[in-house]
């Protein structure tokens, strides 16, 4: 399948993306107040980037679903970053149009020639990470790898961890589980949301996602035997014991969280196969959503 081939190429593709990110000069300068938009997977990558940019001390960075971005009159932001594999997504184009001429826009795209291109002041293109699949894997993770490298991170460990995540066993318990809840803090909350979406899109699985500390405020009520709670990144004190107490399986790996997402992509693929679904032709989804 396209999805399988594309997700397996991630370590090499991230390497290229990180090199581009480290050399990229057109992204907002430190100190700029930045709004980041996208839809679906691209929104979750926007969320992760926003948390990372703030944590790196580079200034206020807010992520919005493009359809809900409160950017009339540009709202005090200094720059717009739009993330879209296709560059055709209607809501993203609308944000680019409505802020055009007010603040500079930078679009991160899978293709150099898209409807988003002429609406953007600068584009960052990742044609080497573009995909044929409907369900995004490597474009999204490569866009985030590029942005992490631009923030000064060394992606060497993430690349190595992704190789390991591609070799790791996909446990039968993960294929059979009735339900998954993904948790994260800071930038890994965006990854948790993406992990949950990936499993829904590829395998029609019942998944949820929450900020790790919010999980105790209600959502843990559905944790039970046969269900999995999967944490990306650092563990808030006491969480694993609370989850284990419900009978649910608690999963946390110490690898780079972006590499852990690769393992979830593989689980999504295997769950699709186990249910006789074609992950390249997911029910009700198209490669790009246009009105």
Residue closer to ligand F1P, measured from CB, 2 or 163: 2
- Scanning residues 135 to 174, which ones bind ligand F1P (CB under 6 A)? 135-136
Q: Kindly state whether residue 207 participates in binding ligand F1P, applying the rule CB under 6 A.
A: no
The one among 11, 21, 28, 40 contacting ligand F1P by CB under 6 A: 40
**In this structure, which long-range contacts are made by residues 109-117, counting pairs with CB atoms below 8 Å and at least 24 apart in sequence?**
109/84, 109/85, 110/84, 110/85, 110/86, 110/139, 111/86, 111/87, 114/84, 114/86, 114/87, 114/88, 115/87, 115/88, 116/82, 116/84, 116/87, 116/88, 116/92, 117/87
Rounded to whole angstroms, the Cα distance separating 162 from 12 reads 10
Q: Kindly state whether residue 39 participates in binding ligand F1P, applying the rule CB under 6 A.
A: yes
Sole window of 131-139, 157-165, 174-182, 184-192 interacting with ligand F1P (rule: CB under 6 A)? 131-139
SS3 for 88? Answer: coil
The one among 22, 56, 134, 222 contacting ligand F1P by CB under 6 A: 134
The one among 92, 96, 103, 144 contacting ligand F1P by CB under 6 A: 92
CB of 87 to ligand F1P, least distance (A): 7
The one among 85, 227, 249, 266 contacting ligand F1P by CB under 6 A: 85
Residue closer to ligand F1P, measured from CB, 44 or 250: 44
Sole window of 36-44, 148-156, 220-228, 266-274 interacting with ligand F1P (rule: CB under 6 A)? 36-44
Q: Kindly state whether residue 285 participates in binding ligand F1P, applying the rule CB under 6 A.
A: yes
Q: Kindly state whether residue 288 participates in binding ligand F1P, applying the rule CB under 6 A.
A: yes
Sole window of 21-29, 50-58, 132-140, 183-191 interacting with ligand F1P (rule: CB under 6 A)? 132-140
Q: Kindly state whether residue 99 participates in binding ligand F1P, applying the rule CB under 6 A.
A: no
DSSP 103-170: S-EEEEESSSSSTTSTT-SEEEE-GGG--SSSS-SHHHHHHHHHHHHHTT---HHHHHHHHHHHHS--
Rounded to whole angstroms, the Cα distance separating 199 from 290 reads 23
Rounded to whole angstroms, the Cα distance separating 281 from 62 reads 33
Residue that has been written with the tokens 């690769």 in this structure: 262
CB of 125 to ligand F1P, least distance (A): 13
Helical pair 41-55 and 187-203, crossing angle rounded to 10 deg: 170
The one among 86, 107, 141, 229 contacting ligand F1P by CB under 6 A: 86
DSSP 5-17: HHHHTHHHHHHHH
Under the rule (CB under 6 A), what is the footprint of ligand F1P? 39-42, 84-86, 89, 92, 134-136, 201, 285, 287-289
């Amino acid at each position: 399948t396209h999805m399988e081939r594309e997700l397996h190429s991630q370590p090499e593709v991230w390497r290229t993306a990180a090199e581009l990110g480290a050399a990229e000069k057109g992204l907002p300068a430190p100190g700029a107040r930045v709004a980041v938009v996208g839809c679906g997977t691209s929104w979750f990558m926007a969320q992760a980037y926003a948390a990372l940019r703030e944590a790196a001390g580079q200034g206020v960075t807010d992520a919005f679903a493009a359809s809900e971005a409160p950017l009339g009159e540009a709202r005090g932001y200094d720059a717009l970053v739009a993330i879209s594999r296709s560059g055709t997504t209607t809501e993203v184009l609308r944000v680019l149009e409505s802020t055009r001429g007010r603040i500079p826009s930078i679009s991160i795209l899978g293709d150099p020639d898209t409807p988003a291109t002429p609406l953007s002041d600068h584009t960052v293109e990742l044609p080497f990470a573009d995909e044929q699949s409907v369900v995004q894997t490597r474009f999204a993770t490569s866009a985030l790898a590029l942005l992490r490298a631009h923030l000064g991170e060394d992606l060497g460990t993430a690349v190595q961890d992704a190789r390991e995540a591609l070799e790791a066993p996909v446990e039968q318990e993960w294929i059979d589980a009735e339900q998954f809840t993904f948790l994260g803090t800071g930038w890994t909350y965006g990854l948790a949301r993406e992990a949950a979406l990936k499993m829904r899109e590829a395998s029609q699985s019942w998944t949820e996602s929450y900020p790790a500390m919010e999980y105790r405020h209600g959502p843990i009520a559905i944790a039970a035997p046969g269900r999995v709670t999967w944490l990306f990144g650092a563990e808030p004190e006491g969480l694993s014991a609370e989850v284990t107490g419900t009978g649910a399986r608690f999963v946390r790996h110490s690898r780079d969280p972006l590499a852990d997402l690769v393992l979830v992509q593989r689980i999504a693929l295997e769950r699709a196969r186990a249910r006789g679904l074609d992950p390249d032709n997911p029910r009700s989804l198209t490669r790009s959503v246009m009105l």
